[in-house]
Amino acid sequence: MRQSASRAAKRVKMPCVISFTVEVDGNLVTGRTLKEAIEAVDAATGSYPLYYMINCAHPSHFDTVVSGNEAWLKRLGGIRANASKMSHQELDESETLDAGDPADLGWRYRQLTRRMPQLRVLGGCCGTDHRHVAAICEACVPEEKLSA
């Protein structure tokens, strides 16, 4: 599916970014690894997407997957993480949305941006609000930029 979207964007010369949702093991719901998914889209489209993102998963779900220096990791340009460490199934079955720990989420983003300085989009997904975005900014944006 993502290959089709990338091919369609390429055909009309529209820039695109592809975002993948991963499960608690860091893999896609199909079981395919994030590496396999990114490499497959790049192979099928001549690396057309500007970059790739990870969305709708807590950083603890994919932290070990995005460590290292492999070329595909340099293609990651953004993360929109969940506030909660719960699985998608647990979140779906929950009566209330787990807001997680904003400070911990900010700290995890800081660790990710240190390892992957090419990240250009940082944001939130399920369960995040202004507290989480503020914690991400405080953890990742240099102090002089926050006060400017």
One DSSP character per residue, 14-56 reads ---EEEEE--TTSS-TTS--HHHHHHHHHHHHTS-SSEEEEES
Helix, strand, coil percentages for the chain (3-state, nearest 5):
45, 15, 40
Question: Given this model, what pLDDT does residue 134 score?
Answer: 96
Asked whether 83 and 105 are in contact (CB, 8 A), the reply is yes
Question: Cβ(81)–Cβ(20) under 8 Å?
Answer: no
Domain count, the chain: 1
Each residue's pLDDT tens digit, 91-116: 888 888 889 999 999 999 999 999 99
What average pLDDT does the structure give for the chain?
Answer: 92
Mean pLDDT of 44-53: 96
DSSP 139: H
Put the strands of the sheet holding 76-81 in their side by side order.
17-21, 51-55, 76-81, 121-124
Q: How many CA atoms lie within 13 A of 1 on its CB side?
A: 4
SS3 at position 93? helix
Q: Using alpha carbons, select from 108, 7, 100, 106 the residue that is nearest to residue 49.
A: 7
Q: Report residue 80 as tokens.
A: 């929109």
pTM of the predicted structure, to 2 decimals: 0.90
| pLDDT tens digits for range 126-142 | 999 999 999 999 999 87
**Percentage, residues of the chain above pLDDT 90:** 79
What gap in Å lies between CA 147 and CA 144, rounded to an integer?
Answer: 5
Residue 148: the pLDDT is 59
**Domain region containing 114:** 2-147
> CATH code at 108?
3.20.20.330
pLDDT for 146 beyond 70: no
Whole-number pLDDT of residue 144: 62
